[in-house]
Amino acid sequence: MWKSKVWNLTLLSTILRRRPTLLSISHFQSNSTSHFPPTISRTSYFDFLGNPNFPGKTFCSESAEKSHVHVRCWSCGNVANGSLFLFCDSCRSIQPLDQSVDYFQIFGLERKYDIGVENLEGKYKDWQKKLHPDLVHSKSEKERGFAAEQSARVIDAYCTLSKPLLRAIYIMRLEGVDVDEEETLSDPELLSEILEIREAVEEAADSQELNQIQSQMQEKLDHWSSSFANAFQCRKFEEALNSIRRMTYYHRVNEEIVKKL
């Protein structure tokens, strides 16, 4: 069952700390006797830092390599053409959640880091028009449940792919490389750099100064983002992990600046 896999995944938001335990509340929800459609059974993770740009629930436990056999629509029996099957084109029924379809497939994208983010929003809206629970009010409870799950997953997919750092971590996981977000910072050089930047943020006199630091961080983020892209493409995963680590810290500085602005 997916649950056993969940424990192997780690939290983005716990980069700074090791937390071996994780309670997946989704599991308990599925036993609930409520008459509402089964709510989103995503795997959910905590977000220790309360950091809004790190949706803690972003990563799913799909086994990406699973080859996709032809699936029949549960409602009309139509066989899907192609592997992507959230929605039946012939009877417009929403299909049950299929974890083997990854986020890139949802957006009809090749699995690579460099994607055109500007096209995501349109595709995201197209999906929501087909899957959003608000639009299936008159359908059966079963299908409304599918809609809630699928729609939530498309939201997650959109949030993940549209943010470089989350996208980087996600694509690594699809490659089977676990990003250890719980590790303590061991690189003294990076540690002192981060401490220095934080101090600068702390002591910034006005918003102009903060904006300046912010644009520096953005430059660094862009730099490490392209380093990641290169490393990932060459399958140099150690280097890729290093880039992710950097991006995480610079991103967090940016978050702090936003809070202060």
CA 95 – CA 40 distance, rounded (Å): 14
Tell me whether residue 91 or residue 261 sits nearer to Zn ion (CB atom): 91
Cβ 127 to other proteins shortest distance, Å: 10
Which residue in this structure is represented by tokens 């032809």? 70
**In sequence order, what are the residues at sequence separation of 6 or more whose Cβ sits closer than 8 angstroms to the Cβ of residue 212?**
none
CA 202 – CA 195 distance, rounded (Å): 10
Which residues contact other proteins (rule: CB under 8 A)? 7, 16-17, 19-23, 25-26, 28-29, 32, 35-37, 39-40, 42, 44-50, 52, 55-57, 121-122, 125-126, 128-129, 132-135, 137-140, 144, 147-148, 151-152, 155, 159, 184-185, 191, 194-195
The one of other proteins, Zn ion, none whose footprint includes residue 50, by CB under 5 to 8 A per kind, is other proteins
Which residues contact Zn ion (rule: CB under 5 A)? 73, 75-76, 78, 88, 91, 93
Cβ 135 to Zn ion shortest distance, Å: 16
Tell me whether residue 60 or residue 101 sits nearer to Zn ion (CB atom): 101
Cβ 59 to Zn ion shortest distance, Å: 30
Beta carbons of 70 and 80 less than 8 angstroms apart = yes
The one of other proteins, Zn ion, none whose footprint includes residue 96, by CB under 5 to 8 A per kind, is none
Which residue in this structure is represented by tokens 């599918």? 146
Which residue in this structure is represented by tokens 């192997």? 8
The one of other proteins, Zn ion, none whose footprint includes residue 78, by CB under 5 to 8 A per kind, is Zn ion
Cβ 151 to Zn ion shortest distance, Å: 18
**In sequence order, what are the residues at sequence separation of 6 or more whose Cβ sits closer than 8 angstroms to the Cβ of residue 210?**
201, 204, 257, 260, 261
The one of Zn ion, other proteins, none whose footprint includes residue 40, by CB under 5 to 8 A per kind, is other proteins
Tell me whether residue 58 or residue 243 sits nearer to other proteins (CB atom): 58
Sign of the C-alpha dihedral, residues 147, 99, 239, 50? positive
**In sequence order, what are the residues at sequence separation of 6 or more whose Cβ sits closer than 8 angstroms to the Cβ of residue 251?**
53, 165, 217, 221
